[in-house]
Amino acid sequence: MMKFYSLIVVAVLGTATMFAQSVDEVKYRRSSLHVMLMEDNDLHPQYKGIIVDAFLNSPFPDKYDNHDIGIASYDILSIAIPEVEEVDEKSKEEQKQDKRLKGVDKKIEQFIKNEGVARKLVAKWFDRKDDGSFATELIAERGSYDATTLDVSKAKMQSNTVSTQMEDAGYELIGNTFLIINKANFIENELGAAIVYEAAKIAISTMKQENAMQKLVKDAANAAAESVYERTRKGYTVGTRSFLYKLSWNDSISDIFYTDYWVDESMEVEEKITKKDLFDNTDLFSMEFVGMEKATVMVLNLKAENLTTQQIISEATIRTGNKVFAKLQKEYDVFKPKTPLAQVENKGKLCTAKIGLKEGLTGKEKFDVLEQFTNKEGLTEYKSIGTIKIDKKNIWDNQFYASEPPVIEGEIKIQATHFKGCKKKYYPGLLIRQKK
């Protein structure tokens, strides 16, 4: 019997820039990420631990800052929601593939509301304390701001808006915070392979064998069908669907937050209590749906040398998560990360960046080279100063391997992807962003 296994990973993001003297010290405003697992009561005990551990212990994406809000797992699929009469075409297609996905978008929305996910993301940015007071150290650290100028209380006394740097942080960091919910299916290949094999045998049985040539062709078809069946039946297929949400943050929301909910340590106890209660019960913050992508990885035979079944399934689980993550980055501009150039040498003839096969590179991609500047309002912006493309012969294989990564003569072949079209004016730390 074919078994489907489901789980949900939740993630969250924000965006970021650079600067340092050496390649290893390059700092830039990267996105922030929260990862959470959705419990699934239908997971088979034999594989549940493997899949859950693979998701929870997979390497943290190095293009993001960890924005953990303290929710490790949640059984979203068991959330009860009213029957929905009207569903869009995409939802209908999802329901055809997995009946348990019926109404999953509504369940996710209910989870976000019940757990106050958006509110917790905002609280994390401001390092909210037990007494409700906020601080700006995390924003200063991730945005490379001067912490002494991010004083909300002083800014509020001077005008109705907060400081320019805090406004800039709102656009660059808070306003680019995302939630990703990954639902992964785990399927034993045996039944699917058997169905295909039986269908092939039925088709082959109708083939004529009235002469030696026809009999030879029929025998070859039978052998081929049996070979495919044997090759595919002892394995698994891991698939992941990712649902992407974005934290809503704009001038109106930030003004209300700083005016009505902001608490700092200098306030009187009664004022703290009042504003803390207002923040705890507000519905000001919300998440907006951006889009969904999916990816699959098929594991065959399970006979790799020096690898256990657990290692092989873990590798497939982590890789399918990386594949669908890369799809989301390519498809939705608002979610595309920026990556710093790691090397620029030989008058621009050699430039590299720490991205590769894990990020879904195929060799056809082009990237904008971005330079940071401050506009007349004092806000951070980026302008394109050129375009580079992947050097197909030098793509970094940074995929997750349960064993050791591929090596040539004892050394890893390449540890960064090379680009063509670089210029001598480029320098390490300039950010690049993939073009659609």
Query: How far is C-alpha 57 from the geometric centre of its chain's CA atoms?
Result: 15
Task: Tell me how many domains the chain contains.
Answer: 3
Asked whether the beta carbons of 167 and 2 are under 8 A apart, the reply is no
- The DSSP string of 326-384 is HHHHHH-GGGPPPEEEEEEETTTTEEEES-BGGGT--S--EEEEEEEEE-TTS-EEEEE
Average of per-residue pLDDT across 144-159: 71
Q: Phi-psi bin for 348: left (phi > 0), alpha (psi -120 to 50), beta? A: left
Total count of residues recorded for the chain: 436
Residues 6+ apart with CB under 8 A from 297: 237, 238, 239, 316, 319, 320, 323
One domain for residues 172 and 316: yes
- The answer to the question of residue 3 being in a domain is no
Burial environment of residue 431 by CB neighbours within 10 A (0 to 12, 13 to 18, 19 or more)? buried
One domain for residues 106 and 137: yes
At residue 7, the pLDDT reads 41
DSSP 3-state percent helix, strand, coil across the chain (nearest 5): 40, 20, 40
Asked whether the beta carbons of 397 and 405 are under 8 A apart, the reply is yes
CA-nearest of 375, 13, 18, 22 to 175 is 13
One domain for residues 303 and 356: no
One domain for residues 132 and 245: yes
At residue 21, the pLDDT reads 35
CATH number at residue 416: 2.40.10
Range picked from 85-99, 274-288, 333-347, 398-412 for highest mean pLDDT: 274-288
In this predicted structure, the answer to whether residue 65 has a pLDDT above a threshold of 60 is yes
Choice between 212 and 421, residue whose per-residue pLDDT is larger: 421
One domain for residues 291 and 413: no
One domain for residues 104 and 39: yes
- The answer to the question of residue 1 being in a domain is no
Mean pLDDT of the chain: 79
- Of 200, 234, 268, the position where a domain reaches its end is 234
In this predicted structure, the answer to whether residue 383 has a pLDDT above a threshold of 60 is yes
The helix (H) or strand (E) run that includes residue 319 is helix 309-331
Q: Within the chain, what is the greatest distance between any pair of CA atoms?
A: 98
One domain for residues 252 and 401: no
One domain for residues 200 and 323: no
- Of 291, 313, 331, the position where a domain reaches its end is 331
For 348, the domain range is: 338-434
28-53: per-residue pLDDT in tens?
888 888 877 777 777 677 777 888 88
One domain for residues 174 and 299: yes
